[in-house]
Structure 1
Amino acid sequence: MTLSLRRRPRSRLFVLAGIAVALAGFLGWFATGPLLRPAGADEKPLSQGKPATASSSEGRAFPASAAVDGDAGTRWSSGFSDPQWLQVDLGSPTALDRVVLNWERAYGTAFQIQTSLDAATWNTVYSTTTGTGGRQTLTVSGTARYVRLYGTARSTGYGYSLWEFQVFGKSSAPATATVGPAPTSTSTSAAPAPSGSAGYIMAPNPVTNVKPSHEVPPNKGGFHEFQANCSVSRTNLGDDPIVFPGLAGASHLHTFMGNTTTNAATTVDSLTKGATTCKAKGDLSAYWMPTLFNGDVAVNPEGPQVIYYKTGVTDYRSVRPFPKGLRFVVGNAKNTDADKFLAATEKGFECGDSYENKNIPLTCPSDRSVKLNIRYQAPSCWDGLHLDSPDHQSHMAYPIDSHSASGMVCPDDHPVAVPKLEFKMAWPVNGDMSKVHFASGAGPTFHYDFINAWDDRTLTAMINGCIVAARQCDAQGHDGRDDQQPAPYVLNNDYVLP
């Protein structure tokens, strides 16, 4: 009886313990099962592999795309100044729940997480001035297609550096359609970019399904270009419809070529209703640059100037037309880095037999045939998403050297190859050049602006007939090299596409 009384408690205890173990196991499975399992480390961020852009990068090895590639060994690193931003396009409106930042040692102490549906109007969903770096998981809410980190204070003298920028949530709408080959017609209703540092202009037909071409084409060392020969249309006008839209006289003086209507109030619609000083009647684009002065006297280029449309990438067959309304600024009106300026030119400032000048030479031969020349090249890789960006430059990028047979290719975060503009300007000034300067300042402040308003069919025909066809064309689309079978004219004798 005594033994029986002792065994019963043990039996009950054993049974209860077994039930407890089973219940714990069940609850453990239930908590991590498909119904209540929390988002874990294996959950793929919605941002992974999506298009990413940034205000700047420390170099080609640290692009914006490296922060959303899912590789913890690659990173985005910005320029060494404030503010800076990194943005990802999720592709469709998304209900957000958190953002995870995996900082490198150069982190942000003050930054915001901002969201937007259109990349133009931004809402701040998280803000701090006491960031500590490391791995930060930030709870956010709301619905957005675009998410960006906006940094205003750095922890070091370096830039902002992220191994990974991860956005989590649940997509609430189907992904936007991507497009294949470049459209031959796009909307012309894009308005000017807001003044100041705010705002993007989204492309009405974004290109999101292309990757930079690494193919090696035939005749990769040949010519792949045509010319836009455009004369001065307006000069000594202090307007800049890209940097100071709607603000007449707010800029230093500019010399305009191409479209005859360009002013502070210019839109793509107004350009398409204007006339042009370019030979090709379909080129209604606006081109402008700071006015050159010799002392107090403005010096304008005489006659048609050469604006080359070339390939900037080795696979010239991948070059497609600019989207209507694309605009950008090449160079910097406040630049003081003469070496950086020289690197973007063909031969620097030239006059007579003097080449590779970082600044305007102090003297040039006193001969009427001698002119001051510059050939300055634009970036030719587009992010596929924006017609303009806050700094009017970061939606464009220069090609990078692949260090392989592929040669020059577009970076992954700017995958769309478009024509490379090259301004070849000649001013009739020589002799004593000590008082020659631009309205923006010394030689390295030279820059130029561009708004694409080409007739879509004409631009497509010139690109396909000259760049893609590996020809060296004039403004009519004719390849007149002696060693080549002349190509058929793309434009007729009136410089109009038949």
Structure 2
Amino acid sequence: MKVFSATALALVAPATALLRFPCAQLVIDRLDPLVNPGQAPSPHLHQILGGNSFNITMAPEKDMPAESTCTSCQFSEDFSNYWTAVLYFKARNGTYKRVPQIPNSGFTGVNGGMTVYYMQDGLYNFQQTSKVEAFQPGFRMFIGDVNARTKEEAERFRQLTFTCLDTINTRDPQTLDFPPAPCQAGIMTAVRFPTCWDGKNLDSPDHMAHMSYPEYGSFESGGPCPATHSVRMGQLFYEVLWDTSAFNDKEANDWPEDGSQPFVWSFGDGTGYANHGDYLFGWKDDALQRALDAPCYINCDTLTTQDADAMNACTVPRVVIEEIDGWVSELPGGHQASYVKRRWMEQIGLVRD
């Protein structure tokens, strides 16, 4: 099920381009101060990056740059927090093992985490000349649906995808569900956030309604923002590389007997359709706007860059102490893998690969 074709961005070094940088792992914990503020543990496990002021509540008025003493991201002015769910392998005997993350192409030495993009124009336009607005202090958003188990449900969100990696630089094809076969170099998940803001609300009850997709097409295709959300923002985009290579031997690793794929999200989704991401803006002063107005790619003259050792050194202790690295009989939070809804839809002909 091919969604769209992408250029291998890591292999191209344009003269005027986008902001692309790594963030190392800040913590892996069962916390979610956006969707479940004040709740510890939160319902499922997340991998979290960014400023070390991250905590259980993260009130909107929180001054993240002032309260942080370090960031796990490459640019020292970025104290934002970025997070996604965690990927697990489910063996035939019903036990689970967390899948580790690896750094993206060009970012050797960074401890897991993911790659973050902020773009003035689409991923395929290497000139990046458009004027876009930076997010504001207190801004936050979420994209995706943790309850999605069908293609139709996933298609409500544009460009939340998976790539089965032949090499670390593979970028096609991209699908909405988990790859069905072993992936030689791992699985890459992509989370692309909406790009049109209503111009007044820094958040909304579902953490999505204050943002919108373009009226038609996508950010990449240059579609216009709707009148209700007329402010064109930079494109925020995550790439997460999961090192599934240790599980590639189907027999040695007890893949399911029916031949189905064995990976599940930390909240139990075994289809992949519930891919999602969270964001809390925390850039210092006008650093992000300056970067969006400049010709930046990996390094940026308007920002201060720190090395991998400094990124890796910025961590916070886990709040919820539970087994997350060994083989476990159930996912943290008591979740079990869920495929039932998708299979039922397939059986009655509502879902087709």
Tell me whether the two structures share a fold, i.e. TM-score over 0.5.
yes
Describe how 1:101-250 pairs up with structure 2 within 5 A: 224-235=17-28, 237-250=29-42
Deviations 1:361-402 (A, max 9, x none): 23224x4xx011122211011111111111110000012249
CA-based RMSD of the aligned residues comes to 3.0
| 1:349 to 2:163 alignment | yes
Cα 1:402–1:301 shift into 2, 3 Å: closer
Cα 1:351–1:333 shift into 2, 3 Å: same
SS at match of 1:228: strand
Distance 1:492 1:291 in 2: 30
Match among 264, 287, 290 for residue 82 of structure 2? 287
* Greater strand share, structure number: 1
Distance 2:154 2:21 in 1: 23
Identity of counterpart residues, as a percentage? 23
The 8 Å contact of residues 349 and 358 in structure 1, kept in 2 or not, is answered as: no
Match among 112, 116, 128 for residue 307 of structure 1? 116
Describe how 1:325-364 pairs up with structure 2 within 5 A: 325-338=138-151, 341=154, 344-345=158-159, 348-352=162-166, 355-364=173-182
SS at match of 1:348: strand
The 8 Å contact of residues 77 and 303 in structure 2, kept in 1 or not, is answered as: no
Structure 2 residues without counterparts, runs of 5 or longer: 1-13, 91-95, 104-109, 256-260, 308-353
The 8 Å contact of residues 358 and 444 in structure 1, kept in 2 or not, is answered as: yes
The offset of 1:302, in angstroms, is 2.6
The aligned amino acid for 2:162 is G
The 8 Å contact of residues 312 and 399 in structure 1, kept in 2 or not, is answered as: no
The aligned amino acid for 2:232 is A
SS at match of 2:209: coil
Distance 2:283 2:304 in 1: 17
The offset of 1:493, in angstroms, is 5.2
The aligned amino acid for 1:226 is L
SS at match of 2:31: coil
The aligned amino acid for 2:99 is V
Cα 1:410–1:270 shift into 2, 3 Å: same
Distance 2:145 2:16 in 1: 29
The aligned amino acid for 1:459 is L
The 8 Å contact of residues 341 and 444 in structure 1, kept in 2 or not, is answered as: yes
Distance 2:32 2:48 in 1: 10
The offset of 1:265, in angstroms, is 1.7
Cα 1:252–1:299 shift into 2, 3 Å: same
The 8 Å contact of residues 160 and 276 in structure 2, kept in 1 or not, is answered as: no
The offset of 1:350, in angstroms, is 2.5
The offset of 1:222, in angstroms, is 9.7
Structure 1 residues without counterparts, runs of 5 or longer: 1-220, 478-488
Cα 1:306–1:255 shift into 2, 3 Å: same
Cα 1:402–1:450 shift into 2, 3 Å: closer
Match among 441, 444, 447 for residue 273 of structure 2? 444
The 8 Å contact of residues 144 and 277 in structure 2, kept in 1 or not, is answered as: yes
Distance 1:317 1:450 in 2: 23
| 1:409 to 2:224 alignment | yes
SS at match of 2:154: helix
The aligned amino acid for 2:302 is V
Match of 1:424 in 2: 239
Cα 1:492–1:407 shift into 2, 3 Å: closer
SS at match of 1:465: coil
Match among 343, 364, 374 for residue 189 of structure 2? 374
Distance 2:274 2:79 in 1: 26
The aligned amino acid for 1:306 is T
Q: Greater shift after overlay, 331-340 or 382-391?
A: 331-340
| 1:255 to 2:64 alignment | no
Describe how 1:473-492 pairs up with structure 2 within 5 A: 473-474=297-298, 476-477=299-300, 489-492=301-304
TM-score when scaled to structure 1?
A: 0.46
Distance 2:139 2:294 in 1: 22
SS at match of 1:413: helix
Match of 1:266 in 2: 58
The offset of 1:348, in angstroms, is 3.5
Higher relative contact order (CA 8 A, sep 6+): 2
The 8 Å contact of residues 74 and 305 in structure 2, kept in 1 or not, is answered as: no
TM-score when scaled to structure 2?
A: 0.64
Distance 1:436 1:283 in 2: 32
The offset of 1:263, in angstroms, is 2.9
Cα 1:355–1:223 shift into 2, 3 Å: farther
Q: Greater shift after overlay, 284-293 or 270-279?
A: 270-279
Higher gyration radius (CA): 1
Paired residues in the alignment total 253
